[in-house]
Amino acid sequence: MTVAVHHRQAYFETLYSASQDPYGTQSRWYEQRKRALLLACLPRARFRSCYEPGCGSGELTAALAQRCDAVLASDFSPTAARAATLRTASLAHVRIEHHAIPQGWPQDQVFDLIVLSEIAYFLDGAAVNAVARRCRASLAADGVLVACDWLPDFGERASATHAVHAALAACGLARLAMHREDDFELVVWSRDPRSVAQHEGIR
Structural domain spans, the chain? 3-199
- Give pLDDT, residue 4: 61
Please provide the average confidence, as pLDDT, over all residues in the chain.
94
Largest CA distance in the chain: 54
Helix locations, 99-193, DSSP H = 125-138, 161-169
Backbone angles phi, psi at 108, to 5 degrees: -90, 5
- Whether the upstream peptide bond of residue 102 has omega within 30° of 0, thus cis, is yes
Kindly indicate the confidence band of residue 118, based on its pLDDT and cuts at 50, 70 and 90: very high
Kindly indicate the confidence band of residue 133, based on its pLDDT and cuts at 50, 70 and 90: very high
- Give pLDDT, residue 5: 65
- Give pLDDT, residue 9: 76
| Mean pLDDT to the nearest integer, 108-113 | 96
CA dihedral 23, 24, 25, 26 (to 10 degrees): 160
Sheet with 139-150, side-by-side order of all strands: 94-98, 68-75, 47-53, 111-117, 139-150, 184-190, 174-180
Q: Tell which CATH architecture fits domain 3-199.
A: 3-Layer(aba) Sandwich (3.40)
| Mean pLDDT to the nearest integer, 60-80 | 97
Strands 174-180 and 94-98: unpaired
Helix (H) or strand (E) holding 84, with range, is helix 78-87
